[in-house]
């Protein structure tokens, strides 16, 4: 029998329920409060299926009514919600009620910076900066929803494998919810800022001798055997939260879909979430056309980009290596969902080298915006697509900057002291005299002439 892949629950389905969980692979349905990390029948990934918003008579809401409600829920409005996730609650977790664990999060800006646009060769480039979230990455959007589910299902502990950002977010939200947090990170491969956050917020931090892919396998086994609630992006509620990046972009653009949405990709949770958000927004009539989704991988961690080039005929895994430690992932978990997202949006997957990532990051940083290395992959991807003629001058493009510049200070300090880095902004040690300052200014103005 074919798996039911309806986007929303039909009127006759799941009476009395607002949402349920459905296995992508075998179609098994679970109640929304079931705490299984994956399908108990076949091990497939679970997805949340909501009832489409209806009016008091049970009739489907028109797109403009839904859009109006979302506007009323903006934080500046009298009925507004301070969170950029929970103001989209009807499409995220309608039954959350008062149980929400929120920082708040979301409500991140859509920036234009001429320096970055000019470098990428894309005048219509907008930067959706998710580094403005409370722990400095987009992970907070999924974590507020995942933690809320953990609380309402009575979880005694929460856990994740991470390249650093998920662990920082988990540690923060678990602390707020008062639940012990356990994180599994690859030893020696987590950026300094992320490690510092995870320790500060009080999660038990396990430095695993292995890579992210080993950490993910381990946390899945541990959660299965020890009953700890799993908060990786295969958790369907994490996906629901991360969808709001797209809802927010669309709302910021007056529900006019951009031509392209470009994002860095590692474990493919965000690619999957973006695909689901666009599918739902389109099905509800909130947008009348789909933007093309572009997932950008680091060249040393690009199994999905390779599969795309081959028409997705096979699934690949690689031994990952890249300076962008956040996306140093060789065996992405949300593979099938991401394939669907790319196929449904006529999307593209590409890879950029570490040099291209650094070049893009230097531009984003020098514009005064800043982001972590993995985030710059999106802008590097835009430049590549402009050079290939796929993005044209008239296109409106949103590149997602997934994490804050302070996430990876170690890489930056090292880069800016490197003798072979032409744009290095070396710090200068001086005596505590005005003369010393004047000498520096003289050399600098000489250099800039």
Residue ranges that bind ligand F0G, judged by CB under 6 A: 137, 139, 162-166, 233, 264-271, 326-327, 372, 374-375, 402-403
Between 67 and 198, name the residue whose CB sits nearer to ligand F0G.
Answer: 198
Count of beta carbons in the 10 Å neighbourhood of residue 41:
13
CB of 265 to ligand F0G, least distance (A): 4
CB of 113 to ligand F0G, least distance (A): 19
Label the pairing between strands 46-51 and 8-9: parallel
Label the pairing between strands 181-186 and 110-111: unpaired
Between 126 and 374, name the residue whose CB sits nearer to ligand F0G.
Answer: 374
Between 108 and 166, name the residue whose CB sits nearer to ligand F0G.
Answer: 166
CB 33 within 8 A of CB 148: no
Between 372 and 395, name the residue whose CB sits nearer to ligand F0G.
Answer: 372
Between 90 and 378, name the residue whose CB sits nearer to ligand F0G.
Answer: 378
Partners of 398 in beta bridges: 126, 261
CB of 244 to ligand F0G, least distance (A): 14
CA–CA separation, 330 vs 189, rounded Å?
Answer: 14
CB of 231 to ligand F0G, least distance (A): 10
Q: 36 Cβ partners below 8 Å, 6+ apart?
A: 21, 30, 46
CA–CA separation, 431 vs 440, rounded Å?
Answer: 11
End-to-end CA distance of the chain: give it in Å, rounded. 73
Between 91 and 169, name the residue whose CB sits nearer to ligand F0G.
Answer: 169
CB of 195 to ligand F0G, least distance (A): 12
Our CA dihedral for 131, 133, 136, 140, rounded to 10 degrees, sits at -120
CB of 326 to ligand F0G, least distance (A): 3
Between 150 and 349, name the residue whose CB sits nearer to ligand F0G.
Answer: 349
Between 20 and 357, name the residue whose CB sits nearer to ligand F0G.
Answer: 357
Cis preceding linkage at 104, omega within 30: yes
CB of 243 to ligand F0G, least distance (A): 12
CB of 232 to ligand F0G, least distance (A): 8
Nearest to residue 208, comparing CAs of 159, 244, 142? 159
**Residue 176 vs residues 35, 160, 173, 201, 205: alpha-carbon distances, Å:** 20, 17, 5, 9, 17
Residue located via tokens 């050079």: 387
Report the Cα 146 to chain-centroid distance in Å: 14
CB 396 within 8 A of CB 126: yes
Partners of 20 in beta bridges: 31, 49
């Amino acid at each position: 029998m074919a798996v039911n892949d309806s986007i929303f629950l039909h009127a006759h389905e799941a009476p009395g329920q607002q949402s349920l969980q459905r296995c992508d692979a075998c179609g098994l349905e679970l109640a929304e409060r079931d705490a299984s990390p994956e399908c108990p029948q076949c091990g497939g990934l679970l997805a949340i299926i909501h009832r489409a918003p209806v009016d008091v008579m049970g009739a489907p809401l028109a797109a403009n009514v839904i859009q109006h409600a979302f506007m009323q829920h903006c934080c500046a409005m009298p009925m507004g919600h301070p969170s950029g996730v929970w103001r989209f609650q009807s499409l995220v977790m309608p039954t959350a009620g008062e149980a929400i664990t929120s920082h708040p999060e979301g409500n991140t800006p859509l920036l234009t910076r001429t320096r970055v646009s000019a470098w990428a060769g894309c005048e219509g480039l907008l930067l959706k900066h998710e580094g403005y979230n409370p722990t400095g990455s987009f992970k907070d959007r999924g974590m507020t929803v995942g933690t809320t589910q953990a609380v309402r299902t009575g979880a005694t502990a929460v856990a994740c494998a991470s390249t650093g950002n998920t662990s920082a977010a988990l540690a923060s939200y678990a602390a707020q919810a008062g639940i012990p947090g356990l994180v599994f990170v690859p030893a020696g491969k987590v950026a300094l800022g992320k490690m510092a956050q995870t320790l500060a917020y009080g999660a038990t931090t396990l430095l695993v001798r292995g890579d992210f892919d080993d950490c993910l396998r381990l946390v899945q086994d541990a959660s299965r055997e020890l009953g700890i609630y799993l908060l990786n992006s295969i958790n369907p509620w994490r996906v629901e939260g991360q969808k709001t990046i797209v809802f927010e972009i669309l709302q910021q653009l007056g529900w006019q879909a951009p031509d392209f949405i470009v994002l860095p990709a590692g474990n493919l949770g965000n690619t999957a979430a973006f695909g689901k958000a666009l599918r739902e927004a389109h099905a509800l009539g909130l947008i009348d056309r789909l933007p093309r989704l572009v997932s950008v991988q680091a060249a040393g961690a690009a199994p999905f980009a390779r599969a795309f080039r081959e028409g997705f005929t096979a699934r690949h895994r690689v031994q990952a290596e890249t300076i962008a430690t956040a996306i140093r992932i060789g065996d992405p978990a949300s593979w099938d969902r991401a394939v669907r997202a790319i196929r449904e949006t006529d999307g593209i997957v590409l890879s950029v080298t570490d040099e291209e990532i650094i070049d893009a990051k230097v531009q984003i940083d020098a514009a005064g915006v800043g982001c972590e290395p993995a985030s710059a992959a999106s802008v590097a991807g835009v430049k590549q697509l402009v050079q290939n003629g796929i993005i044209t001058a008239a296109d409106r493009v949103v590149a997602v900057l997934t994490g804050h510049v302070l996430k990876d200070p170690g890489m930056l300090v090292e880069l800016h002291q490197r003798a072979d880095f032409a744009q290095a902004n070396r710090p200068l040690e001086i005596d505590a005299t005005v003369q010393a300052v004047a000498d520096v200014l003289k050399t600098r103005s000489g250099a800039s002439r």
